[in-house]
Amino acid sequence: MGLGFVLLIWAIVGTVFAAIGAAAFGGAAALLTRGVANGRRKVIIAAILFPVVCLGWGGVIFVFQAFVNEGLLHRDLGLGDTWHAPLPNGYQIMMIDVTDQGWVYNPKTQPGSGVGEQEDAVAGVRNVQVAGRYILGATDTKAFEHLGQDTNQVDAYFLLDTQQGKRRQFQNYDALRHSALELGIEPNLQPINAVYSKFRFGWFDVLAGLLFCLPPVVGALLLIFWIVQLRRTRPLLLHNASGSSP
């Protein structure tokens, strides 16, 4: 599913929920402030607009985090059918359509926007380990044929030196382990999606989450406080009205 289609779906869903929220918030504000003489109209309008403003704020934060993640941090923006994240040694990890197999590659040596298999780019990676300048992994040479299948088939292994861009191939795990131990590395291969998650998410995602949630929460609290303050004027108005009657 392409990114544009996903964004369109989220925009439609967000608009529908904003409309429902506007009706619900406006109705609740009108009900709770019934009998208030001053300020009732303003708080009802604010309650109706609140979900719409929240939707707009969410869109702004999404664009902001997308620009930072893709443009500055070289990570995916969190939507779509492609997931990628930088590794500490300058390489990238990427998955397309599925999250059980993907690519490990050097983006600096790729000729175009796509990724092609070469000595420093490995396709069909199911399990991987990052150990300093080295990347160890297990691959499925028929990954394309197994795309979308619930399988973890592995039929080859590799040891990639990211500084030299050289890759060694192995037919079994024991051969990989022997070569890794010679380099002082204890093999501990993990599923590619687990390694992706380790390097994809960090402090910026926490910041983006706070920016996404805190202003709407503060706005909701202020709106509630406003309604409560208006409700407190009702008994006083009723009391004054009854006291002034003949």
pLDDT tens digit sequence for 70-96: 999 999 998 888 999 999 999 999 999
Can you give 95-143 as a three-state secondary structure string? Answer: EECCCCCEEEECHHHCCCCCCCCECCEEEEEEEEEEECCEEEEEECCCC
> Look-up: residue for tokens 């003489």?
37
Q: Is the pTM of this model over 0.85?
A: no
**DSSP H stretches of helix in 33-117:** 40-66
pLDDT tens digit sequence for 166-212: 999 999 999 999 999 999 999 999 999 999 999 999 999 999 999 99
pLDDT tens digit sequence for 30-47: 999 988 888 899 999 999
Work out the pLDDT band at 117, boundaries 50, 70, 90: confident
Confidence at residue 244, expressed as pLDDT on a 0 to 100 scale? 46
Confidence at residue 36, expressed as pLDDT on a 0 to 100 scale? 85
Count of C-beta atoms within a 10 Å radius of residue 144: 10
